[in-house]
Amino acid sequence: MPQIQQLAETGLSQVFWLVVTFAALFFFLRGVALPKVAEVLDARRRKIEGDLDKASALKGEAEKALAQYQAAMAEGREKAQAMLRKVGDEAQAKAAAAQDALAQRLAKDVKAAEDRIAAARRAALVNIEQLAAELAQAATERLIGVKVDAASAKSAVGAVRERGA
């Protein structure tokens, strides 16, 4: 076979150049390329470690800031609750004062109304007594034909009222 014969004739030289090329490539990679790759990988590792350290430091700062924020929020809530209680107490005191003032005014109004009712009642009683005296005069004159004077009729109606009351 011609391919095998050609390989047998040139095979040793091909193997020699393969070893030489492999050795040259090996030493080139080992001496030049691989140190640069290792350097890049080492720089990347250092950068990642630095970023992780920064991230953990920032996380610690963020946790501190969160704790401060939560403390400030709690303090703000407490102040707001205190203000709400204070405003509520003040409003309740104002409402109580207004209610007392209204109660006093209403008591005065009720007293005035009671006084007006009592005066109207007295006036009505006077009018009723006067009317009763006039009716008694008219009835006496009509029934028995005797004319009774107004003073006598008033005193008779007054006596009847006092006995009935």
pLDDT digits (tens, 9 = 90+) for 125-136: 888 888 888 888
Task: Quote the pLDDT of residue 84.
Answer: 96
Please report, for the chain, the start and end positions of each structural domain, with discontinuous segments joined by +.
2-164
Lowest mean pLDDT segment, chosen from 76-85, 87-96, 101-110, 135-144: 135-144
pTM of the model: 0.42
pLDDT digits (tens, 9 = 90+) for 15-52: 888 899 999 999 998 998 899 999 999 999 999 999 99
Cβ–Cβ under 8 Å, residues 148 and 141: yes
Confidence of residue 4 (pLDDT cuts 50, 70, 90): low
